[in-house]
């Protein structure tokens, strides 16, 4: 059975008062009873001695029995005591409350038995004669140094017993009354003191339940007041701390939600426990997939395997992973970190997905570019080396072969230097610093057309190609760099010359809208197959390898053209029909 603080206080009060009062009562009861008994005994002994002294002669002389009887009756009547005279053998000579003849020998009575050894003797006994508890006192009567008789006085104990019972009843009722009073005072006092405790308990329960704004309103200067004040302070501090933690958590959640990187939290079994918005969108995570194994989320077991490694090693780790998402190949660098709680136990793994697809593509392109460039350089170099070796091996002697081989060596070296020139230009344009240096100015398109024509007239004439320019009447200015714009036009027209058979037509034209100037280079050449058209602006791409190679192409020209046009803020497109010709059109901003 559980006792509350109130019951405990009340029961303690009750126990204390009842025990102390009972102890005191018992002591007083005993004390007063003994006191009464003592005085009664003294009274009896004194009276017995008085009777013995006063009536000694009468007692001794047996012939004066009647006088003795009269005397002791008189004394008995006055003192209200029972007086008995016994002979030395314990036989009753006379008794004031009874008939001596009917009384048996009293030698075995306690007070009589002890007389020969003592000055007096007493006893308490139930008297069959008086039917009461009686107190007896006996004194010896000596004559000529010999015990000749015994005087015994007796009185009823009823008054003492009545007094004892009355006192006991009084003490009991006093105890009962005090108990009731203690109970009432206890209830009042405990209510007074436990009320604030109950209020504090209720408030503490509310606080524990999350109602942090709860305060205890106890304005006393005692310990309870102090406690309430301290709890209030504690709650205020906790509320402040929790608000801070809450704000921090919200901030972190916000960062996590709005992060560009996908974040997945894996538990120790490899199940996805939490995912941020990017992860949900990226992996099409529906709520029912949360809590599922990472394989069902990203379709790859490497995540779980790495998470297990991180968990056992308790060290972060990064891996690269290629995934197909939304039909696109993506490369991720995934960072794994173990989540260790305050007890030092690893509870899960945090995985952050960095989309490095662009970087990977750049890297792949670089590798591809180096391989392509090396290949493009290796081809003419092999030819030069081969033909020079043949010449050295004796072909120098043969005049026809010598000329032919040297011509090949010359062409191949020209191709090489062109390629290196193109590559250098590309490298130059690739640097941000250089692009910033390139000065943009107002350029008259007709001047560019003239410069290109002047530069390429020998090549046009060589193939007997028809050249036509078409320009609006007024001057047309574009925002560009003269040298690079000429380079664009030269590349496009050179291509047109390269891929157009003799007697073909090449035309350059210009058309204007309010914001843009469109420039086209059209030829009546071999054209480009539709499957090649999307790739012709890629580096090292050649539509018809054999033809392009024989034409001296390296596959860089168009990529350079697109690069330059985009640098000026324009765009280039190509249209072509196999066998009929190709048209390249690009626009440049007017301002």
To ligand ADP, the closest distance from the beta carbon of 340 in angstroms equals: 56
Distance of closest approach, residue 421 Cβ to ligand ADP, in angstroms: 12
Q: Which is nearer to ligand ADP, 280 or 455 (CB)?
A: 455
Q: Is the dihedral of CA 219, 221, 222, 228 positive or negative?
A: positive
Whole-angstrom distance, CA of residue 574 vs CA of residue 572: 7
CB closer to ligand ADP out of 297 and 528? 528
Site for ligand ADP in 192-221 (CB under 6 A): none
> What's the Cα-to-Cα distance from 51 to each of 105, 145, 573, rounded to whole Å?
21, 19, 160
**Closer by beta carbon to ligand ADP, 352 or else 528:** 528
CB nearer to ligand ADP: give 250 or 414: 414
Residue from 276, 294, 372, 495 binding ligand ADP (CB under 6 A) = 495
Q: Is 543 in the site for ligand ADP (CB under 6 A)?
A: yes
Nearer to ligand ADP, 106 or 498 (CB): 498
Q: Is 452 in the site for ligand ADP (CB under 6 A)?
A: no
Tell me, by CB under 6 A, how many residues bind ligand ADP.
22
Q: What is the DSSP string of 488-520?
A: HHHHHHHHHHHTS-TT-EEEEEEEE-SSEEEEE
Segment lying near ligand ADP (by CB under 6 A), choices 41-49, 86-94, 234-242, 526-534: 526-534
Sole window of 29-37, 175-183, 199-207, 549-557 interacting with ligand ADP (rule: CB under 6 A): 549-557
Query: Which C-beta is closer to ligand ADP: that of 406 or that of 490?
Result: 490
For ligand ADP, the binding residue among 111, 336, 582, 586 (CB under 6 A) is: 582
Give least dist CB 364 to ligand ADP, A.
Answer: 20
Query: DSSP state, 538?
Result: S
Query: How far is Cα 99 from Cα 277, in angstroms, rounded to an integer?
Result: 122
For residue 587, give the nearest of 512, 530, 501 by alpha carbon. 512
In the list 71, 355, 376, 523, the residue contacting ligand ADP (rule: CB under 6 A) is: 523
CB of 494 to ligand ADP, least distance (A): 8
Given candidates 542, 562, 564, 565, which one binds ligand ADP under the rule CB under 6 A?
542
User: Is residue 541 close enough to count as binding ligand ADP by CB under 6 A?
Assistant: yes
Query: What is the rounded CA–CA span in Å between residue 186 and residue 6?
Result: 8
Secondary structure (DSSP) of 113-170: HTGGGSS-EEEEEEETTTTEEEEEEEEEEEETTEEEEEEEEEEESHHHHHHHHHHHHH
**Whole-number Å distance between alpha carbons of 140 and 85:** 10
Select from 499, 563, 568, 587 the one that contacts ligand ADP (CB under 6 A).
499
Alpha helix positions (H), 158-301: 158-208, 223-258, 277-282, 294-298
- Verify binding: residue 524, ligand ADP, rule CB under 6 A: no
Looking at the DSSP assignment, which residues form a beta bridge with residue 172?
A: none
Which residue has the CB atom at the shortest distance from ligand ADP? 553
Judged by CB under 6 A, the residue of 460, 548, 567, 590 near ligand ADP is: 548
Q: CB 566 → ligand ADP: shortest distance, Å?
A: 15
Residue list 304-343, contact with ligand ADP (CB under 6 A): none
Q: Which of 516, 510, 532, 430 is nearest to 480 (CA)?
A: 516
Residue of 270, 554, 568, 587 that binds ligand ADP (CB under 6 A): 554
- The window from 43-51, 253-261, 355-363, 492-500 that contacts ligand ADP (CB under 6 A) reads 492-500
The smaller minimum CB distance to ligand ADP, of residues 346 and 487, is found at 487
Q: Does 496 bind ligand ADP (CB under 6 A)?
A: yes
3-state secondary structure of 96: coil
When binding is defined by CB under 6 A, the residue of 555, 570, 572, 587 that contacts ligand ADP is 555
CA distance 98 to 315: 115
279 in contact with ligand ADP (CB under 6 A):
no
Nearer to ligand ADP, 93 or 556 (CB): 556
Shortest separation between residue 497's beta carbon and ligand ADP, angstroms: 9
CB-nearer residue toward ligand ADP: 87 or 523:
523
Write the DSSP string, 267-284.
ETTSBEEEE-HHHHHHTT
Judged by beta carbon, residue 140 or residue 557, the one nearer ligand ADP is 557
Give the shortest CB-583-to-ligand ADP separation in angstroms: 9
The answer to whether residue 111 forms part of the interface with ligand ADP (CB under 6 A) is no
Tell me if 553 contacts ligand ADP by CB under 6 A. yes
Residue identified by tokens 């765009």 is 571
Residue from 526, 586, 587, 588 that binds ligand ADP (CB under 6 A)?
526
Q: Give the gyration radius of the chain's Cα atoms.
A: 66
Which residue, 412 or 523, has its beta carbon nearer to ligand ADP?
523
CB of 485 to ligand ADP, least distance (A): 17
CB of 373 to ligand ADP, least distance (A): 13
Cβ neighbors of 139 (< 8 A, separation 6 or more) are 45, 48, 49, 52, 115, 119, 120, 150, 151, 152
Nearest Cα to 448, choosing from 522, 524, 519? 519
Can you tell me the distance from the alpha carbon of 92 to that of 11, in angstroms, rounded to the nearest whole number? 60
For the CB of residue 337, give the shortest distance to ligand ADP in the complex, in Å: 47
> Tokens in use for 302?
């490497």
Q: From residue 468, how far is each of 504, 509, 516 by CA, in Å?
A: 11, 8, 22
Does residue number 528 form part of the binding site for ligand ADP (CB under 6 A)?
A: yes
Question: Residue 336 or 584: which CB sits closer to ligand ADP?
Answer: 584
The Cα–Cα gap between 155 and 161 comes to 12
Q: How far is the CB of 361 from ligand ADP (least distance, A)?
A: 20
Q: Is the dihedral of CA 525, 528, 533, 536 positive or negative?
A: negative
- Name the one residue in this structure whose structure tokens are 């006393």: 220
338 CB neighbour count, 10 Å cutoff: 20
Contact range with ligand ADP by CB under 6 A, out of 73-81, 240-248, 369-377, 494-502: 494-502
Closest CA relative to residue 107, chosen from 93, 124, 92? 92
Q: Give the number of C-alpha atoms closer than 13 A to the C-alpha of residue 163, restricted to the C-beta side.
A: 15
Residues that bind ligand ADP (CB under 6 A): 495-496, 499, 523, 525-528, 536, 541-544, 548, 553-559, 582
């Amino acid at each position: 059975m559980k006792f509350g603080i109130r019951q405990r206080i009340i029961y303690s009060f009750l126990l204390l008062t009842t025990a102390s009062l009972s102890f005191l009562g018992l002591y007083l009861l005993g004390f007063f009873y003994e006191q009464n008994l003592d005085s009664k005994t003294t009274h009896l002994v004194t009276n017995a001695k008085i009777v013995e002294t006063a009536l000694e002669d009468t007692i001794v002389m047996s012939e004066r029995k009647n006088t003795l009887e009269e005397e002791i009756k008189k004394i008995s009547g006055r003192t209200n005591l029972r007086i008995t005279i016994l002979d030395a053998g314990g036989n009753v000579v006379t008794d004031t409350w009874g008939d001596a003849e009917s009384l048996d020998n009293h030698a075995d009575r306690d007070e009589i038995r002890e007389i020969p050894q003592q000055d007096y003797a007493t006893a308490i006994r139930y008297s069959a004669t008086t039917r009461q508890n009686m107190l007896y006192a006996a004194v010896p009567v000596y004559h000529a140094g010999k015990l000749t008789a015994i005087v015994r006085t007796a009185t009823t104990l009823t008054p003492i017993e009545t007094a004892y019972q009355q006192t006991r009843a009084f003490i009991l009722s006093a105890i009962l009354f005090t108990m009731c009073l203690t109970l009432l005072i206890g209830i009042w006092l405990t209510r007074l003191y436990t009320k604030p405790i109950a209020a504090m308990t209720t408030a503490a329960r509310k606080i524990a339940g999350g109602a942090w704004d709860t305060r205890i309103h106890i304005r006393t200067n005692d310990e309870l007041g102090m406690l309430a004040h301290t709890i209030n302070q504690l709650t205020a501090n906790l509320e402040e701390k929790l608000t801070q933690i809450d704000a921090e958590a919200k901030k972190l959640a916000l960062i996590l939600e709005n992060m560009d990187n996908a974040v997945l939290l894996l538990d120790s079994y490899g199940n996805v426990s939490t995912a941020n918005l990017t992860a949900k969108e990226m992996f099409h995570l529906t709520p029912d997939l949360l809590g599922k194994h990472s394989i069902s989320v990203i379709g790859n077991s490497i995540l779980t395997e790495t998470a297990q490694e991180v968990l056992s090693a308790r060290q972060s780790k990064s891996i690269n992973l290629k995934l197909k998402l939304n039909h696109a190949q993506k490369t991720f660098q995934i960072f794994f970190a173990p989540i260790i709680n305050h007890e030092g136990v690893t509870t899960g793994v945090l995985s952050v997905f960095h989309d490095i697809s662009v970087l990977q593509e750049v890297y792949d392109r670089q590798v591809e570019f180096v391989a392509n460039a090396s290949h493009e350089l290796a081809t003419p170099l092999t030819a030069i080396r081969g033909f020079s070796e043949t010449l050295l091996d004796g072909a120098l002697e043969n005049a026809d072969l010598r000329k032919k081989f040297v011509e090949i060596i010359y062409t191949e070296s020209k191709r090489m230097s062109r390629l290196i020139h193109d590559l250098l230009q590309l490298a130059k344009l690739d640097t941000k610093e250089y692009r910033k240096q390139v000065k943009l100015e107002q350029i008259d398109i007709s001047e560019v057309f003239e410069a290109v024509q002047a530069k390429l007239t020998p090549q046009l004439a060589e193939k007997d190609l028809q050249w036509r320019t078409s320009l609006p009447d007024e001057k047309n200015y574009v925002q560009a760099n003269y040298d690079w714009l000429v380079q664009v036009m030269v590349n496009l027209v050179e291509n047109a010359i390269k891929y157009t058979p003799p007697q073909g037509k090449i035309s350059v034209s210009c058309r204007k809208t309010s914001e843009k100037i469109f420039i086209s280079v059209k030829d009546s050449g071999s054209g480009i197959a539709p499957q090649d058209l999307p790739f012709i602006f890629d580096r090292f791409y050649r539509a018809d390898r054999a033809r392009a190679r024989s034409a001296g192409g390296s596959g860089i020209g168009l990529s350079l053209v697109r690069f330059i046009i985009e640098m000026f803020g324009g765009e280039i497109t190509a249209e072509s029909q196999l066998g009929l010709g190709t048209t390249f059109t690009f626009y440049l901003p007017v301002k």
